[in-house]
Structure 1
Amino acid sequence: MAYCTPPVIEFRQVALTYPGPPPVPALRPCDLRIEQGEFVTVVGPSGSGKSTFLNIAGLLDAPTEGTYLLDGIDIGALKDGDRTALRGRRIGFVFQSFHLLPHRSARENVLLAMVYNGTPRADRTHRAREALEQVGLGHRVDALPTRLSGGERQRVAIARALVSRPSLLLCDEPTGNLDSRNAESVLSLLKQLHRGGMTVLVITHDQTVAARGARTVAIRDGVLHEQVTA
């Protein structure tokens, strides 16, 4: 199949080895292609290399081998400042811990994500409300995190990730701190965002969560293996 646009993520024999002695290969050379609008999950046990994969995909670490292209941009050709700016524009992060400021409202927590990404001040309030409405929290914009359920707090965190209108939503164990009801609510939201055209990449140790993706990639001992989901 021919694609008109570059993939959001393209790994070409990407690997990362931590220096020794002895050197530790955290991610073995791998190829991976994630097209725009895909929902991909990466599953593996603790110590399998998921965190290394996340750090490379999220531009937090640079690979020691191979080529990584994000939206067709060769990451290895960028200076540190340019890579940081690209991360801020193109990637929205969602973590297991919500990382919300407890004494700031939902809207203020989302607003803060725009302070350093170049969003004009005049646009920030509208963009924050728009993002909260997108995750179903338009009625809770003034609520403090302490007044929100775990699922609602994660939705605020997702709104914060979406407010910069990234091309990739990168989620690290997004349901890890949630009970089953709130976890299902957050997973349903991710599916809804995917149906709306968002590229979603979820890192998880939970096979049940991994099964929600349209594609699943397993990682073990630093080696990626494509899996087929029903």
Structure 2
Amino acid sequence: MPVIRFEQVGLRYPGPPPVDALKPCDLTVHRGEFITVVGPSGSGKSTFLNVAGLLDSPTGGRYLLDGIDTGALADRDRTALRGHRIGFVFQSFHLLPHRSALENVTLAMLYTQVPRTERLRRARTALEQVGLGHRADAVPGRLSGGERQRVAIARALVGRPSLLLCDEPTGNLDSANAASVLTLLEELHATGMTVLVITHDTEVAARGRRTVTVRDGVLQEAS
């Protein structure tokens, strides 16, 4: 079963005049794929991210996530589905500055039914998975940019999502840290994780196994 299936999914903002931020499109992302989505600023990448991440609802078409028709869900159920099935990684790390790496990762499970001891165990495992088990007690200010992004990736992984959705994950990093984070994403992909990276950087896009382009709201496979 595909992780993502778009069936003529589109998003139109009402006018006047109305704007087709994402024109009706089809897309299938199979489990275990590493896909990059590339396009210039203002092309519709953010709209695509918001729709795929269940942050915005499409105004047309049908979006199935893990086979679940997201358009048929109430807002509360969409929020729960997003929390359980999608791990987000953003350009800005969004870490709490006075909390340790371990605490930042653990907080991602705060409103779940997982007991505290299990939350801590999962958080330590996620940090080890991204190579930061030895930095669990460090606060973000004592971590490099690459390490902070690794903590953010651990936080995204700790809920055991179906999809890792990354928005410009190397945008705030120097070239060395960017390469390290991209290598980590490739390693996660090699373990079977489905990875989707939104980027304007063609070098980052080239790391994907498939590349999709967005231009003027039109989504299409790169040739």
TM-score, with normalisation over the residues of structure 1?
0.96
What does residue range 199-214 of structure 1 map to in structure 2 within 5 Å?
A: 199-214=194-209
Higher deviation after alignment, 113-122 or 206-215: 113-122
Which residues of structure 1 form unaligned runs of 5+? 1-5
Give the corresponding residue for 1:160: 155
Say yes or no: does 1:51 pair with 2:46: yes
Q: Distance in 2 between matches of 1:117 and 1:78?
A: 20
Secondary structure of 2:77's match? helix
Alignment of 1:69-148 (within 5 A): 69-148=64-143
- Take 1:38 and 1:120, find their aligned partners in 2: how far apart are those partners? 32
Q: Which runs of 4+ in 1 moved over 6 A?
A: none
Deviation of the 1:120 alpha carbon: 2.4
Number of aligned positions between the proteins: 223
* Residue 3 (structure 1) aligns with: none
Correspondence for 2:13 among 10, 18, 31? 18
Task: Report the residue type matching 2:158 in the other structure.
Answer: V
Deviation at 1:74, TM superposition (A): 0.1
Q: Given the two structures, how large is their TM-score scaled by the length of structure 2?
A: 0.99
Q: Distance in 2 between matches of 1:103 and 1:123?
A: 23
Q: Which runs of 5+ in 2 are unaligned?
A: none
Residue correspondence of structure 1 range 180-199 to structure 2 within 5 A:
180-199=175-194
Amino acid of the residue matched to residue 42 of structure 1? V
1:21 offset after TM fit, Å?
1.0
* Larger CA deviation: 115-124 vs 131-140: 115-124
What whole-Å deviation, never above 9, does each CA across 1:23-65 have from its counterpart, x for those lacking one? 1100000000000000000000000000000000000000000
Shift of 1:227: 1.4
Cα pair 1:162 1:169 within 8 Å, conserved:
yes
Which residue of structure 1 lines up, in the alignment, with residue 2 of structure 2?
A: 7
Letter in 1 for 2:118: D
CA RMSD of aligned residues (A): 0.6
1:122-176 per-residue CA deviation (whole Å, 9 max, x = no partner) reads 3111000000000000100000100000000000000000000000000000000
